[in-house]
Amino acid sequence: MKSLIILILLSAQLLSKDKLNVLFIASDDLRPDLGCYGNTIVHSPNIDRLASESVVFNKAYCQQAVCAPSRASIMSGCRPDTTKVYDLSTPLRSTLPNVLTLPQFYKQQGYETISVGKIYHHNNEDKNSWTQPSWKGPKGDWRNYLNPKYKHVYYPTPAPAWESQDVDDSAYKDGQVVDRAIQHLDQLKSSDKNFFLAVGLVKPHLPFNAPKKYWDLYKENFYNPARREWPQDTPKIAKMGWHELRAYTDIPKDPYSGKRLSKAQDLKLRQGYYACISYIDALIGKLINKLQETGLDKNTVIVLWGDHGFKLGDYGAWCKHSNFEIDTRVPLIIKAPGIKHLKTDSLAELVDVYPTLASLTGHKVPQHCEGSDLSKVMSGQHKGKKAAFSQYPRGKNMGYTVTDGKWRYTEWYNTSSTLVGRELFDHSQGSIAEANLAHKPEFRKIRDQLTKTLNKGQGWKEVKLAMINN
């Protein structure tokens, strides 16, 4: 009898080990400026190495180009009109108290679910979905923190928009977040439990603070926006200014007053953004190396994603907060055991990550998920969805956007559901558009077809159904 019990316990342990773990890596404000996305200037060797063994989605999009709504969507599997999270002040659980979140889903499957760094926008959000208390990092402003063992303690806000200290990687908060994640991997190695480990990096979010060695990688005019004016005939409702950039002490407060960034400021900010990319690239490399060192990589799905894009002077604007392609397009890289490297132009959305991970790890996709399972796309068995959707509120108006990979179309509605603006952009040559074509007769057929696909922001339902049926 004793031998039978031991055999049963060993069988249960082996069954547990056969399940796939998840390493879930988030980066704040990261646009697809990486070597694996064709950027020949940025230094991102570790992410590029991961990409060379992964499925790289060239055309992935967030659901809303600002932190809290985007993260609420990926973590819940629901779109903003379902989560009702449109701003930075609304926690997900205040609007969907009973939603089965991504970590909660894995917790129900018996996984150890751990969060370090910035995963949700708010502190201790979704705390019941984690098997351990979330660790956001050392106290202090999460954007600015520098380890107090150095001369600079964390900046209180307001603060300068950038900093370059000659310190090691763990001096700044993201380095400490990865150090904590590595400790968890050591602990998980000796555990019998499968895990969902979420690691949230705040860079390259403003302020652009990173160790000096990463700034030193970029000493020339390495990025020059292709267009510094809004696309011709862009409606006023679609435009935005500098948003959070204006909060920093060395930045003009009102870009509409005629006072602009100096050339030196302009270049310094771009240098800082790229330095922050290289900084987190090094940290991601350190994390993945640890995963390999423990041997856990053989049984772990790795997903790396950015919560939204970012403007670096493109269209004469900075930051995100719009429906433009450059704000909504994000990096999405997924490595799964048994799936070969693939770079695909198949459309993807961050809301697809939840159902895709559930499928890849051998679990049934929860019915509430509003995204699509992309696991068959990853294995080359499906060509993918025909459209991706985003939205953004502007005052009391809501802009709904659809893209088919080439054309990007937006309709703006007021509170009376009256159409108050349209945009149609051709992105066949890249992320920057030259003109709004929505009102040109020669593009009416394209506009009308996209209007039908968009269906006032509800067209995702038909697209999801088509993915299931095909």
Report domain 20-386's class.
alpha beta
State residue 251's pLDDT score: 83
Q: Which two tokens stand for residue 64?
A: 């809303």
Is the predicted pLDDT of residue 12 greater than 70, yes or no? no
pLDDT in tens, 300-313: 999 999 999 999 99
Is the predicted pLDDT of residue 174 greater than 90, yes or no? yes
Across 17-21, 415-419, 428-432, least confident range: 17-21
State residue 142's pLDDT score: 45
Is the predicted pLDDT of residue 220 greater than 80, yes or no? no
State residue 111's pLDDT score: 98
pLDDT in tens, 244-281: 888 888 887 655 545 678 888 889 999 999 999 999 99
Q: Which residue has the higher pLDDT, 146 or 423?
A: 423
Domain ranges of the chain: 20-386
State residue 7's pLDDT score: 33
State residue 152's pLDDT score: 40
This prediction has a pTM of 0.93
**135-144: average pLDDT:** 65
pLDDT in tens, 425-455: 999 999 999 999 999 999 999 999 999 999 9
**379-395: average pLDDT:** 95
Band of residue 3 on the pLDDT scale cut at 50, 70, 90: very low
State residue 62's pLDDT score: 98
State residue 255's pLDDT score: 55
Band of residue 123 on the pLDDT scale cut at 50, 70, 90: confident
Quote the mean pLDDT of the chain.
Answer: 90
State residue 155's pLDDT score: 45
Long-range contact list for 442-447, CB < 8 A, 24+ apart? 446/407, 447/409, 447/422
Burial label for 186, CB within 10 Å (0-12, 13-18, 19+), is exposed
State residue 42's pLDDT score: 96
Across 60-69, 96-105, 257-266, least confident range: 257-266
pLDDT in tens, 343-353: 999 999 999 99
Q: Which residue has the higher pLDDT, 114 or 257?
A: 114
Q: Which residue has the higher pLDDT, 36 or 124?
A: 36
State residue 13's pLDDT score: 35
Band of residue 146 on the pLDDT scale cut at 50, 70, 90: low
State residue 140's pLDDT score: 56
Active site residues per annotation: 67, 121
**165-186: average pLDDT:** 94
Percent of the residues in the chain that have a pLDDT greater than 70, as a whole number: 90
State residue 254's pLDDT score: 59
pLDDT in tens, 321-333: 999 999 999 999 9
